Amino acid sequence: MSEIRNVIVIGSGPAGYTAALYTARANLKPLVFGGAIFVGGSLTTTTEVENFPGFPEGIDGPVLMENMRAQAERFGAEIVEDDIVSVDLTGEVKEVTDSAGTVHRARAVIVATGSGYRKLGLPNEEEL
């Protein structure tokens, strides 16, 4: 059976990295699952982020996400580029299973999987 961690964070967008940063600074040694393909959330494909606090002139999305990841890692967050395929949040010890079938256990799980863009249902919307 795997070790019981203090906290597991699922997601690597701004919310996931912020959770990782704060839990790492609290010395909780978070394990972060960022996804196998799309690490860093949807901001990694955004060229200009103008509504993020602290950047009055805006910042490039991928740069912002790289900075957030580096800051979380600086304080001890362990970031894994893998998907979580199932979760069991019942009981005192929570369990998450990665794509290889490995079960990871923690006292707390923070789900920060982000959001998706709402589609309008227009013809040829994917092409636009």
Give the total number of structural domains in the chain: 1
- The answer to whether 2 touches 103, Cβ cutoff 8 Å, is yes
- What is the CATH number for 78? 3.50.50.60
Residue 125 in any domain: the answer is no
Residue 14 in any domain: the answer is yes
Short-list 81, 79, 69, 74, CA closest to 8: 79
Tens of pLDDT, residue by residue over 86-128, are 999 999 999 999 999 999 999 999 999 887 667 777 888 777 6
At residue 27, the pLDDT reads: 97
Residue 118 in any domain: the answer is no
Domain ranges, residue 36:
4-111
Residue 86 in any domain: the answer is yes
At residue 127, the pLDDT reads: 74
Residue 33 in any domain: the answer is yes
pTM beyond cutoff 0.75 = yes
What is the chain written as a DSSP string? ---EEEEEEE--SHHHHHHHHHHHHTT---EEE--SS-TT-GGGG-S-B-SSTT-TT-B-HHHHHHHHHHHHHHTT-EEE---EEEEE--SSSEEEEETTS-EEEEEEEEE-----PPP---TTTTT-
Residue 17 in any domain: the answer is yes
Residue with tokens 């999987």: 113
Tens of pLDDT, residue by residue over 35-57, are 876 665 666 667 888 888 999 99
Residue 61 in any domain: the answer is yes
Tens of pLDDT, residue by residue over 12-39, are 989 999 999 999 999 999 999 998 766 6
Count of Cβ atoms closer than 10 Å to residue 102 Cβ: 10
Cα dihedral 46, 70, 112, 98, rounded to 10, equals 110
